[in-house]
Amino acid sequence: MTQPLDRRLAGAVQRVTSTALGPYQSAIVRIGFSLTWLLFLLREFPHRRELYGPDGPWGWDMAQQLIAENRAFTVLLWSDSAAWFEAVYAVAVLAGVLLLLGWRTRTMSVVFMVGVLSLQNRSIFMGDGGDNVIHLMAIYLVFTRCGQVWSLDARRARRQTPGDGPADRWGPVLWAVLGLLLLVGTLTHRTGGEWWLALLLWTLWASQGVWWAVNRWAPGSEPRTLLDVVANLTHNAALVVIMAEVCLIYATAGWYKIQGSRWQDGSALYYPLKLDYFTPWPALSDLLAGSGLIVMVLSYGTVMVQVAFPFTLFNRKVKNVLLAAMMLEHAGIALLLGLPFFSLAMIAADAVFLPTSFLRRLGGRVAGARDRVLRRPVRIPEQRATPGERAGRTLVG
């Protein structure tokens, strides 16, 4: 009895250390959140100065006082010039595009995080609940290997042969430029005043240099294997944290709703449907609000799905049914209540639980549609998994 248990335990440890689990799930989370943030920035581009810039009601002095109290991180307070704000906003948009495409995924995930934290911490009263989800997931994505599939990095890795060296031009340039910016921020005490943040950014920056050096001069060696093990463990732990975060969001939301009298009598949905702020389609909202049965079913159904979901993770069929129900619920919130970016953020978070077989079929259909549009006669099939044999051949990837 003990020997099979030991073998199973050894197999589990081997799998966790040798493979970055959930490559398709981490990729869809990367794509979902980068797309959500990018669409938000583009949608609010005409209003960017009022939301986060010099023309906003939350002025420079007020932002400085708040940051001094909560010690949050934002590069927008490095300078009060309009040119600096425009540059930061442009970099945030560019980082969203490049992370979506999976170009230099490790680096872009850090730049993406800096852009999200900088804009959101500059004006914390802007946005809705989706901002909090993006805020957290932007940090978690830094620790994942989310470019294993569906990325330009993965395509570049497939095209390299095992004997190729790291013919990399952009990596050293990005590494040097980001290191210089980080040095300036650290010396001028502009990393938010928190030592742990500066330490984290310097660790991430130094790890890229070590990764490149080992791949350049000691490929296939024990140090290279050790780096892969550390990267896989970090990725797998971050993926577990993302899953736990999603469960926590739904569990707390569901249990808080149970305590509310409007949710208990099934009338909670009626009230937002009667608020002008949450009625982009007044006729549709009035139609739903006029049916007491529909309001009751949707109110009770929302509570039951949110409370039950964390308990169904070990039953694949039930979990998939509730997952589809929650995604449809968020799609309904986007349509009925006019909260598209909140809904997109939650759907992107839910995607971490999607089955691998479904994601592979989805990726195959998207690739097939792309090939038909581009009229490509032959497409190289994607690998089933990219455990990282050739990952990290570039300095900043």
> Which candidate, 330, 24, 4, places its Cα nearest to that of 150?
24
The model's pTM is 0.90
Chain-centre distance of CA 354, in angstroms?
15
Q: What is the pLDDT of residues 140-193, one digit of tens each?
A: 999 999 999 999 999 988 887 655 555 567 878 888 899 998 888 888 766 555
pLDDT of residue 185: 81
Chain-centre distance of CA 168, in angstroms?
26
| 266, 300 Cβ separation under 8 angstroms | yes
Q: Report d(CA 299, CA 232) in Å as an integer.
A: 41
pLDDT of residue 394: 37
Calculate the CA dihedral of residues 34, 36, 38, 39 and round it to 10 degrees.
160
Joined together, the tokens standing for residue 44 give: 């609010």
Q: Report d(CA 73, CA 220) in Å as an integer.
A: 39
| 33, 138 Cβ separation under 8 angstroms | yes
Q: Report d(CA 7, CA 35) in Å as an integer.
A: 42
| Residue 183, H or E segment | helix 170-187
Joined together, the tokens standing for residue 182 give: 């980080």
Whole-number Cα distances in Å, 252 to 245, 255, 308, 370, 396: 11, 5, 11, 40, 38
Q: Report d(CA 354, CA 369) in Å as an integer.
A: 21
| 170, 51 Cβ separation under 8 angstroms | no
pLDDT of residue 390: 39
> Coil, helix or strand for 389?
coil
Q: Which residues of the chain have pLDDT under 50?
A: 378, 381-397
pLDDT of residue 392: 36
Chain-centre distance of CA 334, in angstroms?
19
Q: What is the 3-state secondary structure (H, E, C) of 16-77?
A: HHHCCCCHHHHHHHHHHHHHHHHHHHHHCHHHHHHHCCCCCCCCHHHHHHHHHHHCCCCHHH
Joined together, the tokens standing for residue 37 give: 């943030």
Q: Report d(CA 337, CA 275) in Å as an integer.
A: 9
Domain locations in the chain as residue ranges: 20-156+190-372
Distance linking the first and last C-alpha atoms of the chain: 45
> Which candidate, 160, 168, 188, 50, places its Cα nearest to that of 106?
168
Whole-number Cα distances in Å, 253 to 236, 248, 299, 343: 26, 8, 13, 15
pLDDT of residue 388: 41
What DSSP character marks residue 142? T
Joined together, the tokens standing for residue 231 give: 């990267």
| 104, 394 Cβ separation under 8 angstroms | yes
What DSSP character marks residue 392? T
CA diameter of the chain: 71
> Coil, helix or strand for 145?
coil
Contacts of 301 (CB under 8 A, 6+ apart): 325
pLDDT of residue 342: 94
